[in-house]
Amino acid sequence: MPKRTRTQDINQFAADVVRRSTQEPGPVDLSDQTAISQVMRAMGRRGGLKGAATLNASLSPAQRKASARRAAKARWGKE
């Protein structure tokens, strides 16, 4: 934010603050890959957590155990 000059009246300053705070935000810079990665990571995690909770609520304990066993075997059973 630029520094306020001494010639600016307090009312002009207040009007300038209101004008800046009500402006529409500018376009998002899509060239920044780290920001895009962080947003996409957060969205994926949120969806994954919701999906897992929904799936686990619909499965019986035996089905959950079998699913967990298959997942562990797929993850750790590779040689």
The pLDDT, as a whole number, for residue 14 is 85
Residue 75 has φ and ψ, to the nearest 5°, of -75, -45
Q: Structure pTM?
A: 0.37
pLDDT at 3 over 70: no
pLDDT at 2 over 80: no
Tens of pLDDT, residue by residue over 41-67, are 888 888 777 887 888 889 999 999 999
Written as one string, the DSSP assignment of 19-37 is: HHHTSPP----TT-HHHHH
- Determine the average pLDDT of the residues in 28-46: 78
